């Protein structure tokens, strides 16, 4: 699901400059570490994330989990060269039973979480909040194209774990993902959400260098030795460097993405490409809601009338749309 090459081509004569000290929020920064055959993306989210999460006033654990899902979506979706939508969804038996992040190419994001407040407890990990179920990643290129969907089982692990499992089983690309979400408190009690994430992949020209051990077949005779493949030295070094990044570095509002990448990979040399801007923007509208209402049977529309009107609230952005029974095709008393 991740492109084999950055969006921006560069020549060996590309100028070398000092990393920018100016942090850029709500962007995805593609990069490469050529000596280690690494390609990656670094996401930094500020106002965009705060806008999405504060519209619903999520409890902190739910906001953090949904923030992680949003970051993971940006790392995956912006790597695809397509027109359409990328949807990341979870359906599980945990306190947070449903998550959805909707990315509309090239830059629009919206997200929503459904949870049981009574089951929320202090200290629950993201894996415990999710519980057991599945994560689905869907690429929808429009009505004339086939949809692609990848599924990953969730069994008490985190979204990072699920991403690693997906790339191991479906893409077979050596990959490491880091996700971090935090709350920023400023003087006067001002509260803001921040998030960051990084995806690093090993993409050598010789595919045999990226070979990984075969997955356990599940029905092998007892005592069968597991298949083992020695990891390439470049990938061992690359994933070790990536693993040193700390949560606070990923969300630090005063640390630019370029400086962070330089901090991690400067000994080998890191090249960054043009940042990809993101924005929080829902696709709902009065016309779209009206069309949705008309898709229901007349009896169902009539049952929606309360206090002489039909009220629809967008689950994503909390926008409220009011219609008269006539506008909604839901005349009171309709059979």
pLDDT above 70: residue 181: yes
**Cα(72)–Cα(258) distance, rounded to whole angstroms?**
19
Q: Which residue has the higher pLDDT, 168 or 199?
A: 199
Residue 334 pLDDT level (bands cut at 50, 70, 90): very low
Contacts of residue 113, defined as CB under 8 A and 6 or more positions apart, other chains included, come to 56, 58, 62, 65, 66, 96, 98, 99, 100
Average pLDDT over all residues of the chain: 88
Average pLDDT over every residue of 313-325 = 90
Average pLDDT over every residue of 142-150 = 86
pLDDT above 90: residue 239: yes
The pLDDT of residue 242: 95
The percentage of the chain sitting over the pLDDT mark of 90, rounded to a whole number, equals 64
The pLDDT of residue 40: 97
What tens digit of pLDDT does each residue of 199-234 get? 999 999 988 888 876 655 555 566 666 656 688 999
Residue 2 pLDDT level (bands cut at 50, 70, 90): very low
Average pLDDT over every residue of 98-124 = 95
Q: Which of 137-151, 257-271, 310-324 has the highest mean pLDDT?
A: 257-271
Q: Which residue has the higher pLDDT, 61 or 326?
A: 61
pLDDT above 90: residue 85: yes
Average pLDDT over every residue of 306-313 = 90
Q: Which residue has the higher pLDDT, 49 or 142?
A: 49
Average pLDDT over every residue of 28-55 = 96
pLDDT above 80: residue 273: yes
The pLDDT of residue 301: 87
**Cα(183)–Cα(193) distance, rounded to whole angstroms?**
5
Contacts of residue 31, defined as CB under 8 A and 6 or more positions apart, other chains included, come to 6, 39, 40, 41, 42, 261, 270, 271, 272, 273
Average pLDDT over every residue of 157-172 = 92
Average pLDDT over every residue of 232-253 = 95
> What is the three-class DSSP state of 62?
helix
Instruction: Give this prediction's pTM.
Output: 0.87
The pLDDT of residue 214: 60
């Amino acid at each position: 699901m991740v492109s084999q090459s950055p969006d921006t081509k560069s020549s060996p004569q590309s100028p070398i400059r000092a990393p920018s000290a100016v942090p850029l929020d709500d962007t995805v920064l593609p990069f490469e570490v050529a000596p280690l055959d690494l390609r990656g993306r670094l996401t930094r989210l500020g106002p965009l994330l705060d806008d999405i999460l504060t519209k619903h006033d999520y409890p902190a654990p739910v906001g953090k989990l949904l923030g992680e899902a949003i970051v993971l979506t940006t790392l995956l979706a912006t790597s695809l060269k397509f027109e359409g939508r990328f949807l990341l969804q979870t359906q599980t038996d945990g306190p947070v039973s449903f998550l959805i992040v909707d990315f509309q190419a090239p830059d629009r994001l919206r997200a929503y979480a459904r949870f049981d407040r009574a089951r929320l407890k202090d200290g629950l990990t993201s894996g415990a909040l999710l519980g057991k179920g599945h994560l689905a990643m869907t690429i929808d290129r429009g009505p004339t194209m086939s949809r692609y969907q990848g599924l990953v089982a969730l069994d008490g692990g985190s979204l990072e774990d699920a991403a690693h499992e997906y790339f191991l089983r479906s893409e077979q690309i050596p990959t490491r993902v880091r996700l971090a979400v935090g709350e920023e408190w400023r003087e006067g009690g001002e509260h803001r959400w921040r998030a960051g994430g990084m995806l690093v992949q090993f993409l050598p020209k010789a595919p045999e260098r990226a070979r990984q051990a075969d997955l356990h077949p599940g029905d092998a005779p007892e005592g069968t030795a597991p298949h083992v493949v020695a990891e390439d030295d470049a990938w061992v070094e690359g994933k070790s460097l990536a693993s040193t990044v700390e949560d606070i570095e990923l969300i630090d509002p005063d640390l630019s993405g370029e400086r962070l990448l330089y901090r991690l990979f400067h000994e080998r040399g890191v090249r960054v490409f043009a940042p990809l801007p993101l924005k929080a923007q829902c696709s709902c509208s009065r016309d779209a809601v009206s069309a949705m209402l008309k898709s229901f049977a007349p009896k169902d529309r009539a049952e929606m009338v309360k206090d002489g009107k039909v009220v629809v609230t967008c689950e994503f952005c909390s926008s409220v749309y009011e219609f008269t029974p006539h506008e909604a095709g839901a005349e009171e008393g309709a059979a």
